[in-house]
Structure 1
Amino acid sequence: MDAQQNKQVIQEAYRLFLNGDIRGVIERCDDNAEWTSPDSEYIPFAGTFHGKQGIADFFSRLDANAQALRFEPREFVAEGDKVIVLGHATWQAKPTGRSFDTPFIHAFTMRDGKVIRFEAHADTAAGERAFRSDQSAQPSMPSQLHH
């Protein structure tokens, strides 16, 4: 498939995601696809997931822990086997009720019309602040120095 066909596959995947059709999104992935975002001990769906079952696990964790208040893919750029999506999202962390805004960059690598690798890049610091429990969200204070 050429770059424009790859772009159409990804645009359709976003339409499916926005309509809640996660199965349809997963069907556009290769059996051995890798789905990855920066690791975070606070964000329950961060890290790397392998294969369709792993990607299903990612979406299950995402759904259990975050709600998209706004999710706007704004630009789709395709060249060769890559499709890059630039957008903006507002998420609510379900465990804490806090929300956060973040621009995002999603990079897809395609082969034979299927996603073989997905990389998400967003403001992880904002996400971590939203997901941390109230107690651990407090900045640590330096201990008092005694003279």
Structure 2
Amino acid sequence: MNIQENKQRVMEGYKLFQAGDIQNLLGLYHENAEWLAPESEHVPFSGNFHGRAGIAEFFRKLDASVQPLHMEPRRMIAEGDTVVVIGDSTWQARNTGRQYDNPFVHIFTLRDGMVERFEGMWDTGPAERALSTDLPLGQDLGKPLHH
């Protein structure tokens, strides 16, 4: 696939996520794809996942923990088989009801039109604070992003 087709494939994944169609989203990943993300003992969906089954587990943990309120890929940069996406997101912790903003950088490596490797970069701190039951419910979780 060429650079433009790779960018379109990645954007297709974001649209499937936003539509809640995780089954078809998983179909964009190679069977033995890697999912790499920051680690946090306080964020159930953090860390690395391997294979399509592992990535499905990531999405199950994500859905059980937080609800996406806003996810906007703002910039997409591609070269060869790599697509880098810079964007903004807003989430709500299911256990506390707290909302938090979290900018992200996602790096996709594609092979034969499918994602072979995903590397996500974001600050785990906002999710940790939103999910924490040790903070008072009125606790300010940081400055909001301007969408």
Work out whether the TM-score is over 0.5: yes
Q: Any unmatched runs of 5+ in structure 2?
A: 138-147
- TM-score normalized by structure 2? 0.88
1:34-113 equivalences in 2 (<5 Å): 34-113=34-113
* Partner SS, residue 14 of structure 1: helix
Cα displacement (A) at 1:71 = 1.1
- Rounded to whole Å, the distance in 1 between the matches of 2:46 and 2:135 is 21
- Rounded to whole Å, the distance in 1 between the matches of 2:54 and 2:103 is 25
Runs of 4+ with >2 A deviation: none
Decide which structure has the larger Cα Rg and report it: 1
Query: Counterpart amino acid of 2:60?
Result: S
Cα displacement (A) at 1:98 = 1.3
**Root mean square deviation of aligned Cα:** 1.5
- Rounded to whole Å, the distance in 2 between the matches of 1:136 and 1:114 is 44
CA offsets 1:21-58 (integer angstroms, 9 cap, x no match):
11111000001001121110111100111111101111
Percent sequence identity over matched residues?
Answer: 52
Q: Which residue of 2 aligns with 1:20?
A: 20
Higher normalized strand content (fraction of residues): 1
- TM-score normalized by structure 1? 0.88
- Rounded to whole Å, the distance in 2 between the matches of 1:136 and 1:46 is 23
Q: Any unmatched runs of 5+ in structure 1?
A: 138-147
Does the CA-based 8 Å contact 2:129-2:135 persist in structure 1? Answer: no
Query: Counterpart amino acid of 1:112?
Result: D
Q: Which residue of 2 aligns with 1:11?
A: 11
Query: Counterpart amino acid of 1:120?
Result: G
- Rounded to whole Å, the distance in 1 between the matches of 2:131 and 2:123 is 13
Higher normalized helix content (fraction of residues): 1
- Rounded to whole Å, the distance in 2 between the matches of 1:37 and 1:93 is 19
Q: Which residue of 2 aligns with 1:129?
A: 129
